[in-house]
Amino acid sequence: MEQHNETRAVRIQTRKTGEKEHSTPLFLTSSFTYDSAEDMAAAFADDSLDVNIYSRFSNPTTDEFIEKIATLEGAEDGVATATGMAAVFGTFMTFLSKGDHIVSSSAVFGSTHTIITKYLSKWGIDYSYFSMNRPEEIEGLIRPNTKLLYVETPSNPGLDIIDLDYLSSICKRYNVLLVVDNCFATPAVQQPIRFGADLVIHSATKFIDGQGRVLGGVVVGRKELIKEIYLFIRNTGPSMSPFNAWVLSKSLETLYIRMDRHAQSALQIAQQLEGHPALRMVKYPFLPSHPQYETAKKMMRNGGGIVTFDLKGGIESGRKFLNALQWLSMTNNLGDSRTIASHPASTTHSKLSEAERQAVGITPGLVRLSVGLEHPDDILADILQALRQAE
């Protein structure tokens, strides 16, 4: 019987042990044993052999988490990593070599920007950036040595949206891999593979965990591509710990319910903040005022849990606003059950130049709000009182 993804997120589990446990077990072990010397030799003779050797290579708890994410994204397979950035870097290193070229949206997470602009050049890999607001320029950036097109949608923190059908058509025409960071939306809101993505990346640290407890990353996509990434991760070491995989797998059981609540509250707060005299703008994918509103409605089931707004008073007003908050959290994380306010210009994107920040819409007064699971009226009340003090 065909099941909905909401059911699969709850019901996909590691096979029961002899203890007949109802909750999924945690295999907290570094290695695994064999019945014979011949079995042990066979395990090391074939990289594709379906047997556990060492938890850096595979682990039943980690496999459960991977299976869930792959199923929810509509992917054939996946590989889990210690962090989201390990998933990004592992993907780049697997498919890019000396002399290659990557095309990326300029609106990417700060650490991703650092890898693209600072570290890839050490291996002779070149890059070109495009604006999410000018997708018509992408095709002109592709070269004969372009191997990969990378994009976040919605982007961090500007919440720019791009049509993945359009990107996929370009990538297929030029035989370029389309890699999508789906961290802000999660598979509960958007499945990029449906629109032609080859690989989908998540920082599981964010909404997939949902409570700010553990770090993790995951890449899913076509089996032959995932095998190559798996071998890189297996040999270089940034593997996910079984404990983190267990936490994240359990978190997926509530992902759809949480994302619906995050989005419902975020939309309500964005609607009530729009037009506030202290704000230059309010941005949320499912607000009709969003520049890519129609694209967001096509790509996403709801608008997600992130709202941004720009204080007219700039950086000083931004600091006053954060300091005036009475109970909303001030941290650089997002996707938590607790509402978080952050100031990207001085934290996650501080290593970008002023011109680079302006190019991706990170103004001095921009505040990123990760809307939590508290009552939306309470969240809004703290925001409004802080805005009064920031004017």
Specify whether 241 is located in the same domain as 141.
yes
Identify the domain boundary among 237, 254, 271: 254
User: Residue 218: left if φ>0, alpha if ψ -120 to 50, beta else—which one?
Assistant: beta
Specify whether 70 is located in the same domain as 157.
yes
Task: Report how far residue 208's alpha carbon sits from residue 206's, in angstroms, rounded to the nearest whole number.
Answer: 6
Predicted pLDDT at 48: 66
Specify whether 275 is located in the same domain as 318.
yes
Q: How confident is the model at residue 326 (pLDDT cuts 50, 70, 90)?
A: very high
Task: Measure Cα distances from 273 to 23, 237, 278, 343 in Å.
Answer: 42, 45, 10, 17
Task: Report how far residue 55's alpha carbon sits from residue 243's, in angstroms, rounded to the nearest whole number.
Answer: 11
pLDDT higher than threshold 80 for residue 350? no
Specify whether 278 is located in the same domain as 181.
no
| Domain containing residue 314 | 256-390
Please state whether the predicted TM-score (pTM) of the whole model is above 0.85: yes
* E strands present in 131-278: 146-152, 177-181, 199-203, 217-221
Which of 20, 22, 32, 18 is closest to 63 using CA atoms?
32
Note the pLDDT tens digit of each residue in 367-383: 999 999 999 999 999 99
Specify whether 145 is located in the same domain as 47.
yes
Residue 139 lies in a domain: yes
Number of domains forming the structure of the chain? 2
Residue 3 lies in a domain: no
Predicted pLDDT at 139: 97
Specify whether 50 is located in the same domain as 146.
yes
Specify whether 274 is located in the same domain as 178.
no
Rounded (10°) angle between helices 255-273 and 376-390 = 40
Q: How confident is the model at residue 306 (pLDDT cuts 50, 70, 90)?
A: very high
* Backbone phi and psi for residue 283, each to the nearest 5 degrees, phi listed first: -130, 130
Predicted pLDDT at 359: 72
State the CATH number of the domain containing residue 284.
3.90.1150.10
End-to-end CA distance of the chain: 58
Specify whether 130 is located in the same domain as 214.
yes
Residue 331 lies in a domain: yes
Predicted pLDDT at 228: 97
Identify the domain boundary among 254, 284, 307: 254
Specify whether 189 is located in the same domain as 302.
no
Task: Report how far residue 88's alpha carbon sits from residue 283's, in angstroms, rounded to the nearest whole number.
Answer: 26
Predicted pLDDT at 349: 65
Note the pLDDT tens digit of each residue in 46-81: 776 688 989 999 999 999 999 999 999 999 999 999
Residue 264 lies in a domain: yes
